[in-house]
Each structure stands twice: as C-alpha cells, then as structure tokens.
Structure 1
Amino acid sequence: MHMNVVFSESDEVAARLEELGVSEASLREAINQGHLQRARLTPNHPRIFPGLEMWGWCVAGLRDQLRPLGWVAHVAGNYESTINNALDLAIAVASGDEATGIAHSRPSNRSKKGKNTVEAVEGNRQGDMFFELLPEKIITAPSNNDTWILLHHTDVHKKEIRIEFSKPWDIGEDGKITSWAERIILCSISFDDDIQLEDFIEPDGMNININITRKAS
C-alpha cells in the first residue's frame, strides 16, 4: 500500500523518528559531518572526490551517531547501510535533487542507483503488500525489508543543505526513485562555505560494477 505520507511539523517529525529509532539531531549531525569534511577540499582535489568525501563521512557519521541507539554498520557486497536488527530497519545515505527537503515536492536521488538499491526498494514494496490484512498490533511493527534513505541536497544559492529521511516506494529503469511511501522533512543546515558543485559527482558507492576484459595480444 503506497501511503505517500509527509511529516513536516516539528512535533510529528519527532514522534515519527522516535518510532523509527532515530532522532533528528543524529541525522542532521551525520550530514553536517559530511559537509564539514567536503568544505575542506580545494579545486586541486580530483573531480570525483568531493562526492566520495561527503558520502563517506555521512555514512560514518550516521553510524557513530546511531550506535548508542542500537544501530550497526552493515555491508552486503558493495551496498553500505546502517541497520537496527531489533527494528528490522536499514538506512542508506544518498544525495538528492533540488526538490529534496521540500514538503510539497517530488524529490529523487541525484545519482543513478544500481541493482542493490532497486532490490531494497522492491523489499519495501513487498513488505507493505499485505499491509491492510495484518492485525493491528503487527501493522505498527516495521517490516523485514524496510530500507530508508537519508537524502540530502546542497543548495549553493540559498547556502543550505536540505535533508529528509524517507522511505522509497518505486524506482525507474534509469535508477532514479520515482515515489516515496513516507517522507520526513528535517530542518536544513545553513553554511557560509563557498562550495562549487558544477562538477559534483556522488559515487554510487553501494552499487559498483567493474568490468574486466582481457588485453588483446
């Protein structure tokens, strides 16, 4: 069942995040740590590095922040996530487009995702397929393959990073998420750094395919 629920008021955001075993402060701090590390870079760094730096520190920051709450690092192949076994929840980190963090919008991921993300989204759909048939006490519990995405977008014109914690529902053949079951809008992070994102490239990180061919003799 596709609910497409958006939480944006502070009280409802806090309540829903508590149900999911996280806090707004911990999610925002994870993104802030990634931003601080990226802001140290110069134009002399490799073109792909700012995206890698931001993503890597956000993932590490998220795991550090959530460890006291029962979350641990999880790697399946090249798919990096942070999971809570007690809640059957997983969190991935990704950059989003300009619609990220805006309640009345339809955001998507900025970089194309591969088969691991597709499988995670499909897991969300399958877990909710028979939602209406479940007893009430089971409905309130997370499904086994519940994957959420900590989505962030750096707006260089407004000098803010918009953030949302959302559950993807569908993904297109182009690797872009097309709809969400739930979106939780978090407070943005303001910054004064002069960041250039014209050549910003976020590594897929979670879905890396390497083709090896034999050199012709």
Structure 2
Amino acid sequence: MPADRIVAQDYEVASRLDQLGLSASELISVVFQAVAAKANFVLNHPLNAAGQLSYIYGTGALRDVLRPKGWQIDRAGNIEATFDPTTGIKIVFQNADSACEDGRDPKAISDKGPAASKAVDLGQGNLFPEYEEEDREQRRRENAALWYLFVYINGDDVRAELSFPKRIEDGQFKGFNERIYIIKPGEWASMMPKVADGDEGPAQDFEINVTRKI
C-alpha cells in the first residue's frame, strides 16, 4: 500500500525536515555512524552483532546530533527513542530490509513488539494536542507521533528514510502516513569521503560534512 505522502525531491525533503526541526545532513551523519559500526562486525562476534552494533551506534549518534538542540532521551515502554518537547515527536533508529522504494514499505529486520505497536497507535492523533496542565508532559510523551529512521545497509548499497507508520501488525509496519527519503538508491557512493591515491583509507574519526542540493 503506497504511503499517504512520499517526500523524495531534495528541496521538498529539506523543507519538510525543517518543519520537524531536522536536517538531512544531521540524519546522514547518523547513517555514517551506523554503517561504520556495522562494518566492525567480525566472525567471532555473535551472529546478530552486526545489526546490534548498527542499532546501538545509530541510536547514540541520533541523540548526539539532537540532544544539543533540546531533544531528550525517551525510554517509555522500553522503546529507545529521542523526543522533541517542542514538536511532540519521537524518533527511533531502525535497521530495515529496504528503504526509499515507492512500491515497497520498509520492513524491520527484527519484529516489533506490543510496546512499539501501542506507541505507534497512540501517536496517530494530532501532532500538537492540547492537554490539561497537570498531566501535559506525560501525555505528550505517551501520545507523541512515533517516527522511525529506517536504515538499509547492504555493502555499498546504503539508503535511509524518515517515516511515520500508521500501525504495526504481526510484528511489522503496516502502512505509512508519510515517508521522507534521506538517502536514495545510488546516492551513497557520492557521499563517501574521498581517499587520495596511496592512502589506506579515511581515518575512523573523520568529521562528516554533508551537503545536499536544495
């Protein structure tokens, strides 16, 4: 089922992310950290370590870029999210089996549990609801619109989208209100740091400075 809205053109992406208090360069820097973490997988690690490393460092990188802007760590329902008290939205880092394909919704690598299903359901209302003063903060967190940063990593094929699911059924996302394409097919190669001839490769602690066409 196609999403209600797909935002794919660079100028539209920049405008929409700005409305959410975000930028493409911030989210792309998160993807770089997730890709680097997954690349640290070695044979002696547990089989699921590559995905776990990507998730751990992706979640941490998301908070690294958002918390200085006033976003907050949120763990309601044991869901590791980052919450913006200004807009009332949450973002969760999610490894996915695809991204940025119009005819195919991203699927979580690992099935989602009942807590995620409940959180997605609660977040379907108005993004800026009004609550009584005494329970406003708690209600805003419980009913926050839950967005997912879906990251697909398959060798040199890396893609990412920030999307707002409608619901979760049988452990997987079913339908999306909106999908915002951050890294589309074929774009990843042009984002990689350039390596001069004779160099072994970029240092692990390089600073990422990503620019997008507006």
Shorter-chain TM-score: what band? 0.7 to 0.9
* Partner AA of 1:162 in structure 2: R
* TM-score after normalising by structure 1: 0.73
Using the alignment, how far apart are the partners of 1:80 and 1:154 within structure 2?
A: 21
Using the alignment, how far apart are the partners of 2:38 and 2:151 within structure 1?
A: 14
Aligned sequence identity (%): 28
* Partner AA of 1:53 in structure 2: L
Aligned counterpart, 2:161: 164
Task: State the superposition RMSD in angstroms.
Answer: 2.4
Structure 1 unaligned segments of length 5 or more: list them.
Answer: 131-142, 192-217
Query: How many Å apart are 1:14 and its aligned residue?
Result: 0.3
Partner SS state of residue 166, structure 1: strand
Using the alignment, how far apart are the partners of 1:88 and 1:181 within structure 2?
A: 16
Matched, 1:179 2:175: yes
Query: How many Å apart are 1:10 and its aligned residue?
Result: 0.3
Would the aligned equivalents of 1:108 and 1:178 in 2 still touch at CA under 8 Å?
no
Using the alignment, how far apart are the partners of 1:32 and 1:153 within structure 2?
A: 12
Aligned counterpart, 1:202: none
Q: Which has the higher strand share?
A: 1
4+ residue segments displaced more than 4 Å? none
Aligned counterpart, 2:85: 85
Using the alignment, how far apart are the partners of 2:43 and 2:49 within structure 1?
A: 10
Query: How many Å apart are 1:79 and its aligned residue?
Result: 1.2
1:2-52 Cα distance to aligned partner (Å, 9 max, x none): 971000000000000000011111111112101112212211111121111
Higher relative contact order (CA 8 A, sep 6+): 1
Aligned counterpart, 1:112: 111
1:52-110 Cα distance to aligned partner (Å, 9 max, x none): 11100000000001123221211124210001111111001111223x12234322222
Aligned counterpart, 2:196: none
Would the aligned equivalents of 2:58 and 2:93 in 1 still touch at CA under 8 Å?
yes
Would the aligned equivalents of 1:165 and 1:183 in 2 still touch at CA under 8 Å?
yes
Using the alignment, how far apart are the partners of 2:157 and 2:146 within structure 1?
A: 26
Would the aligned equivalents of 1:124 and 1:168 in 2 still touch at CA under 8 Å?
no
Would the aligned equivalents of 1:102 and 1:185 in 2 still touch at CA under 8 Å?
no
Using the alignment, how far apart are the partners of 2:52 and 2:3 within structure 1?
A: 33
* TM-score after normalising by structure 2: 0.74
* Partner AA of 1:25 in structure 2: S
Query: How many Å apart are 1:168 and its aligned residue?
Result: 0.5
Inter-CA distance 78–144: structure 2 relative to 1 (3 Å threshold): closer
Using the alignment, how far apart are the partners of 1:121 and 1:76 within structure 2?
A: 12
Structure 2 unaligned segments of length 5 or more: list them.
Answer: 130-141, 193-214
Q: How many residues align?
A: 174
Matched, 1:26 2:39: no
